[in-house]
Amino acid sequence: MNEVLVPFPAPAWRPSVNPWIIAVSVMLATFMEVLDTSVANVSLPHIAGVAELALLVSYTRIVAPEAGRVTRRTVEEGMYVRVGQVLMSIVPNDFWVVANFKETQLKAMHPGQPAEIKVDAFKNEVVRGHVDSIQAGTGSRFSLLPPENATGNYVKVVQRVPVKIVFDPPLPDPSRLGPGMSVVVTVKTR
């Protein structure tokens, strides 16, 4: 018998392989290795189960509402998670401060005015910013349970109004800033 060798066409030719077949094959090999069984002992329902798992994994999508730093991570590699389960918290990359000024301090304050922010974590550094917005009501009015003062016992209490102060670039070290940190804000009203 004579053998004839036929050369492959140009090197750019590649047989088309479905990536799902490769993924299922890898998962099947892993499945068999874990169970320590031979190919002859694997039944069709097991293969179908692995293919179904591969399909379910393809539907998996993990998304975040915005870019930022990961904090309070509650998930580890290999854990099972459910739809809608919170896996971590994200601290956004844009920074601001909500300062609660007394209503008597708002007379000359308006958006756009420069502000100085002293962050306790930055020792004696002063960070620049500006007034972004002034809330249209006091903080107590928007709380979960607003206080209701008894009638007949009138005591005037100065209310606090939240004012959003946005940091101006550049920040000294943004990785040291986080929610809940203590700051002292001074707004230049003149």
pLDDT tens-digit profile of 132-179? 999 887 767 777 776 666 666 667 778 889 999 999 987 777 778 888
Q: Which helix (H) or strand (E) holds 49?
A: helix 44-59
- Pairing verdict, β 114-119 and 127-134: antiparallel
| Cα–Cα distance measured from residue 155 to residue 62, given in angstroms and rounded to the nearest whole number | 52
Instruction: Identify the bridge partners of residue 102 per DSSP, sorted by sequence position.
Output: 160
Q: What is the pLDDT of residue 87?
A: 86
The pair phi, psi for residue 67, each rounded to 5°, is: -75, 150
3-class secondary-structure state, position 166: strand
* Banded model confidence at residue 1, pLDDT cuts 50, 70, 90: very low
Residue boundaries of the structural domains of the chain = 8-60, 65-91, 94-187
- Closest listed residue to residue 167, CA positions, set 74, 64, 92: 92
CA dihedral 97, 98, 103, 108 (to 10 degrees): 40
Contact 163, 186 (CB under 8 A): no
CA dist., res. 50 & res. 27, Å (int): 7
β-bridge mates for residue 154, sequence order: none
- Confidence class of residue 18 from pLDDT cuts 50, 70 and 90? low
Paired residues of 71 in beta bridges: 89
pLDDT in tens, 82-91: 878 888 888 8
The answer to whether the predicted template modeling score (pTM) of the entire model surpasses 0.75 is no
Superfamily of segment(s) 94-187: Efflux pump adaptor protein, beta barrel domain (2.40.30.170)
